[in-house]
């Protein structure tokens, strides 16, 4: 095997200016180009979570900030408005996140759910479904959509946002009719 390798390198080096040294330099340049290409390639950037989602519909969209899993202490209507603005800007992952936050805020405000920071989205959906059986399906699906985008790395689309809007409306109708 070593003889084959030696002959192969020698044959290739015969066709490269500079011989073996030229071949080594060419391979180093090629490795550097591949490294740079992999580093700078376009990637789907995982959207960050906002620390302050804003409280008024006329505010500009928040820039990406540090991670924050907290439920903002703002009305659900403000969170829905922020979700609409994110969706209008094509930032569908953030829109989905804000729609889920609005759903949770409404459940907390209507005393269906006591929010506990640190819950996973699945635990949250299960607790909401236990407290109000009529929202088991919508909350479970909302948790699945959110998880696919934020944890599964799936590319967010307008369809995801539209589905979350439908699920939020279903939760609103059910909780509004019961409470």
Whether 49 maps to a domain, the answer reads no
Digit-coded pLDDT (tens) for 2-16: 888 788 888 878 888
Angle (CA) 102-108-114 rounded to 5° is 135
- The verdict on 28 and 100 lying in the same domain is no
pLDDT score recorded for residue 98: 92
- The verdict on 102 and 18 lying in the same domain is no
Please state, in angstroms and as integers, the Cα–Cα distance from residue 151 to each residue in 21, 125, 129, 139, 161, following that order.
Answer: 47, 16, 22, 17, 16
- The verdict on 25 and 88 lying in the same domain is no
Name the token pair of 57.
Answer: 């519909």
Whether 168 maps to a domain, the answer reads yes
Range in 35-49, 88-102, 142-156 the model is least confident about: 35-49
Integer Cα distance of 157 and 79 in angstroms: 19
- The verdict on 33 and 96 lying in the same domain is no
Whether 67 maps to a domain, the answer reads no
Whether 61 maps to a domain, the answer reads no
- Model pTM score: 0.62
Whether 69 maps to a domain, the answer reads no
- The verdict on 26 and 87 lying in the same domain is no
Residue 44 scores a pLDDT above 50? no
How many domains in the chain?
2
pLDDT score recorded for residue 89: 93
- The verdict on 136 and 80 lying in the same domain is yes
- The verdict on 36 and 81 lying in the same domain is no
- The verdict on 111 and 163 lying in the same domain is yes
Whether 32 maps to a domain, the answer reads yes
Q: Which domain holds residue 141?
A: 76-178
């Amino acid at each position: 095997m070593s003889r084959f390798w030696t002959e192969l390198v020698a044959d290739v080096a015969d066709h490269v200016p500079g011989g073996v040294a030229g071949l080594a330099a060419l391979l180093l340049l090629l490795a550097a180009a591949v490294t740079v290409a992999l580093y700078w390639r376009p990637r789907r950037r995982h959207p960050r979570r906002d620390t302050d989602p804003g409280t008024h519909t006329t505010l500009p969209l928040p820039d990406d900030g540090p991670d924050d899993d907290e439920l903002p202490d703002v009305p659900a209507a403000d969170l829905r408005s922020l979700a609409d603005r994110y969706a209008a800007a094509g930032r569908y992952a953030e829109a989905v996140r804000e729609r889920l936050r609005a759903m949770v805020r409404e459940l907390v405000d209507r005393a269906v759910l006591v929010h506990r920071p640190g819950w996973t989205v699945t635990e949250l959906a299960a607790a909401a479904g236990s407290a109000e059986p009529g929202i088991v399906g919508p909350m479970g699906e909302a948790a699945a959509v959110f998880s696919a985008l934020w944890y599964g790395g799936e590319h967010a689309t307008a369809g995801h946002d539209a589905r979350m809007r439908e699920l939020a409306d279903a939760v609103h109708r059910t909780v509004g009719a019961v409470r």
